[in-house]
C-alpha cells in the first residue's frame, strides 16, 4: 500500500509541496484548503500532469479532513503570508488560530501521523501544534533550518562560483533574524570557508541569509517565498517515508539539549521512519552559544505571548 501525505493549505507553498511530492512519487497526496474548489482544482491539474511527467500517484483535493484519514505525514502550510514591512511575529495570533484548528483535525483523523510545520512564525507554530496534538516530540517537526541552510549555501556558491553541492553548511536557531549560521563548520568540499573568503564577505552573506525571506517578500510585494520552502519540507518527508535517516537542521522540541527546555529550536536531527530519531548536540563556542541563546529567547517571547492571549 502506498504511503499517504496530506498537505494542509493549497496556496503557493502547499501547491508546490504537492508538486514536489508527485514528481518524486513519494506517496499519494491529499491537499486540504478551506477555499472551496481550490484544492480540488489544483489537485486535478497536478494529477493530469502525471502522464507527461511519468508519475503514478493519487492526488485528491478537499475542503474537509475526512479524505486525509490515516495519513503517514501531514505538512501544515496554511496561514497568512508575510507582506512587505511585516515581520514573522506580526503573523503570530492570526496563524495560531489556523494551525490550532488544523492540528485538531489532523490529530482526530490521523493520530499516528508525523507533523511537519511550515507556517510562520515557525518555531511558535511548532509549539502550538505539539501543545494541541499532544503528539510526542519525535512526531512534530519544523521546517526552517533546511531552508535557511539552503539560502546560505546558495549565496556562498554564487560568491565562490562553485556548485551548491560542494557547500557543506549548518544553520541553527529560530527561523528569523536571530538564526545562527555556523561559519566555523562551513566548508567547500572540506576546505574551510574562512580560507576562501575574507571575514567581511562572510559576514555580508550571513546577513543576507538572515534576511533571505524578507528579500523575497520585498520583491514579490504580495506574498512570500514558496519554491524553496516547499522543496525543503519535501526533503524532510522523503527522509521520513524512505527511512533515509538524513541528518538535517530542523526545529525540534528540546528537553534539556543545548540547555533549553520546552522550546522548538533549530538543531541537527536524524530523520527516519519514526520522525526525529536523534538530536545532535554540536559543541558550540561561547559566541555561538550566546547567539543561540538570543534566538531561543526570541522563540520564548512568542510562546509567552500565545500563552497570555489564550489564557484570557
Active site residues: 175
Helix residue ranges, H only, 161-276: 199-210, 212-220, 227-241
Beta bridge pairs of residue 60: 30
DSSP 9: -
Q: Rounded distance, CA 188 to CA 195, Å?
A: 10
Hey, is 163 helix, strand or coil? coil
The backbone torsions φ and ψ at residue 69, rounded to the nearest 5 degrees and listed phi first, read: -50, 135
Q: Is 158 exposed, middle or buried (0-12, 13-18, 19+ CB in 10 A)?
A: exposed
Q: Which of 243, 252, 284, 258 is nearest to 26 (CA)?
A: 243
End-to-end Cα distance, the chain: 46
Q: Rounded distance, CA 42 to CA 55, Å?
A: 16
SS (H, E, C) 33-85: CCCCCHHHHHHHHHHCCHHHHCCCCCEEEECCCHHHCCCCEEEECCCCCCCCC
| Pair 117, 157: CB distance under 8 Å | no
Beta 187-188 vs 191-192: how paired, if at all? antiparallel
Q: Rounded distance, CA 73 to CA 71, Å?
A: 6
Amino acid at each position: 500500500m502506498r504511503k499517504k501525505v496530506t498537505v494542509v493549505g493549497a496556496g503557493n507553498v502547499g501547491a508546490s509541496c504537492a508538486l514536489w511530492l508527485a514528481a518524486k512519487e513519494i506517496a499519494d497526496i491529499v491537499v486540504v484548503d478551506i477555499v472551496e474548489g481550490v484544492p480540488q482544482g489544483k489537485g486535478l491539474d497536478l494529477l493530469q500532469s502525471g502522464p507527461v511527467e511519468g508519475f503514478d500517484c493519487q492526488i485528491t483535493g478537499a475542503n474537509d479532513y475526512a479524505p486525509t484519514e490515516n495519513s503517514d505525514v501531514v505538512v501544515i502550510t496554511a496561514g497568512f503570508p508575510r507582506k512587505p514591512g511585516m515581520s514573522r511575529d506580526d503573523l503570530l495570533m492570526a496563524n495560531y488560530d489556523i494551525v490550532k484548528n488544523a492540528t485538531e483535525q489532523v490529530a482526530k483523523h490521523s493520530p499516528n501521523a508525523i507533523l511537519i510545520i511550515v507556517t510562520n512564525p515557525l518555531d511558535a507554530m511548532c509549539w502550538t501544534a505539539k501543545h494541541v496534538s499532544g503528539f510526542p516530540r519525535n512526531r512534530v517537526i519544523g521546517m526552517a533550518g533546511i531552508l535557511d541552510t539552503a539560502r546560505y549555501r546558495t549565496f556562498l556558491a554564487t560568491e565562490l562560483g562553485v556548485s551548491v553541492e560542494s557547500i557543506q553548511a549548518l544553520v541553527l536557531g529560530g527561523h528569523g533574524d536571530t538564526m545562527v549560521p555556523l561559519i566555523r563548520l562551513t566548508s567547500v568540499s572540506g576546505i574551510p570557508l574562512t580560507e576562501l573568503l575574507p571575514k567581511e564577505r562572510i559576514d555580508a552573506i550571513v546577513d543576507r541569509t538572515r534576511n533571505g525571506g524578507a528579500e523575497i517578500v520585498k520583491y514579490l510585494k504580495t506574498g512570500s517565498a514558496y519554491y524553496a520552502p516547499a522543496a525543503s519540507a519535501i526533503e524532510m518527508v522523503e527522509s521520513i517515508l524512505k527511512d533515509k535517516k538524513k541528518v538535517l537542521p530542523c526545529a525540534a522540541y528540546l528537553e534539556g539539549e543545548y540547555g533549553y527546555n520546552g522550546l522548538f529550536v533549530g538543531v541537527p536531527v536524524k530523520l527516519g521512519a519514526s520522525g526525529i530519531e536523534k538530536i545532535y548536540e554540536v559543541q558550540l563556542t561561547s559566541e555561538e552559544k550566546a547567539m543561540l541563546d538570543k534566538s531561543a529567547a526570541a522563540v520564548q517571547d512568542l510562546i509567552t505571548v500565545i500563552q497570555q492571549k489564550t489564557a484570557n
